[in-house]
Amino acid sequence: MSVQRQTEAKIRDLGERSKDIKTVLIIDDDPILRVVAESYFKSRGSERIESAANGAEALKIIDARGAGIDFILCDLNMPELDGVQFLRLLKERDYRGPIAILSGEHEAVVVLAENLATKHELNLVGALRKPLNFEQLDQLVRKSEDHLQEYDKTSLSDFKECDLKAALSGGQIRVFYQPKIETATGRIAGAEALVRWDHPERGIVRPQHFVPLAESSSLIEELTNQVIQTAIEDAARWRKLKINFKVAINLSVDVLYNLNLPDEIAARVDASELDRSQFIFEITESRLLEQDTVPMEVLARLRMMGFDLSIDDFGTGYSNLEHLKEFPFTELKIDQSFVAHATTDHRAKASVEASVSLGKKLGLRLVAEGVETAADWGFIAKMGVDQAQGYLIAKPMPMDALLEWYFEYRAKCVNGRPHFI
């Protein structure tokens, strides 16, 4: 039987054909692997499949096609121009489509390459180990389709302060929600509020393209105020529907220098007649400075007022133990970069295990971000992580879509067991 027919036979069990991955670029110096990967994408419905034996050949294809490539599958160890160099040159060309790494290199090298891709602000959807596994590749392709539907082809340099000012004054700021599920009971524990910019020409713009601009200007407080107000209003709508779960709101460290922030938030929540304990404020760990007294005072007062505090992206900063000692957190969110690799990378697994052990000893609620597969769910549930959040459960969605998802999930959840595992 030919490679194409063997591949088609294996793929028939994976589900429907790809709708969004039309043009693919496969980069690997192994011709057999290229043929196998090409067969996979043909069977999944891709219309044009390019292949290259190294990064230099791939760049010629990219330069010729411009932005017309929907998905790149890239090896690391290749002659002439390797995958690590290729990632840097992709950044220079401002490529913004989904990228997956496929490599047989030591896991530490693969993790470093993933970190480099993230630093380059590339749209990395994951990494696969050789030999090629169709089921794992299919998961990344499906993830890429979600990213293509959400992913806007914009960059921070495309926007100026005056653009964001117009968005804030013109009602273009939206709040999407991503649900969180209790691993022990399957109950919906709450949702994280995630800001989006509904641009009149570019569509939905994700926060990494405009929040840094807000933080570097005087607009971050107004942006935060709009998100908080929207979340409070939406929580009031939930209460009318007898839905009472927690909503998590991200606070930039920059707004923690407003000493009046705790009183302002408390006044808004109290005016809505909601319980303060219904709100969790997430602070990204990597930007905290424990020696600065103003954020410490603001966080202490928020906690005393009855709000929960969460340390976000735990493990990505440089002094996380100090942060847990200095700040009154009630929740620890394990960063998705560790969760996504915990079932395949012993270093990531050890990081998750250490975070869980520390969080439990400190009496913190544990939340795993980036749960995207049943294997991820099984691992964090076995570890005793309290809640899970990620694409396996649901991607971020507007308020009305969240309500539809909520009732559909409850209908499908049998005896506390989520329908997706």
Q: Kindly list the distances between the CA atom of residue 215 and the CA atoms of 199, 210, 211, 312, in Å, as whole numbers in the listed order.
A: 19, 9, 6, 17
**Which of 47-56, 67-76, 172-181, 208-217 reaches the highest mean pLDDT?**
172-181
What would the pLDDT profile of 334-388 be if each residue is shown by its tens digit? 988 889 888 877 888 998 999 999 999 999 999 999 998 899 999 999 999 999 9
Number of residues assigned to the chain: 421
Lowest mean pLDDT among 25-39, 41-55, 146-160, 269-283: 146-160
First to last CA, the chain: 34
Domains of the chain, with CATH numbers?
Answer: 23-152 (3.40.50.2300), 161-412 (3.20.20.450)
- Across the chain, what does the average pLDDT equal? 87
Contacts 24+ apart (CB under 8 A), 234-240: 234/175, 234/177, 234/193, 234/399, 235/272, 235/274, 235/278, 235/279, 236/272, 236/273, 236/274, 237/399, 239/274
pLDDT in the model for residue 156: 47
Q: b/e per residue, 205-229, with b = 16+ CB within 10 A? A: bbbebbbebbeeeebbbbbbbbbbe
pLDDT in the model for residue 327: 82
pLDDT in the model for residue 152: 47
Rounded-to-integer distance, Cα 201 and Cα 342, Å? 39
Share of the chain above pLDDT 90, in %: 56
pLDDT in the model for residue 146: 64
Token representation of residue 11: 């793929």
For the whole model, what pTM was predicted?
A: 0.80
What would the pLDDT profile of 170-189 be if each residue is shown by its tens digit? 999 999 999 999 999 999 99
More confident residue, 87 or 133: 87
In one-letter notation, the amino acid at residue 90 is L
Edge to edge, the sheet with strand 123-129 lists 48-52, 23-27, 71-74, 98-103, 123-129
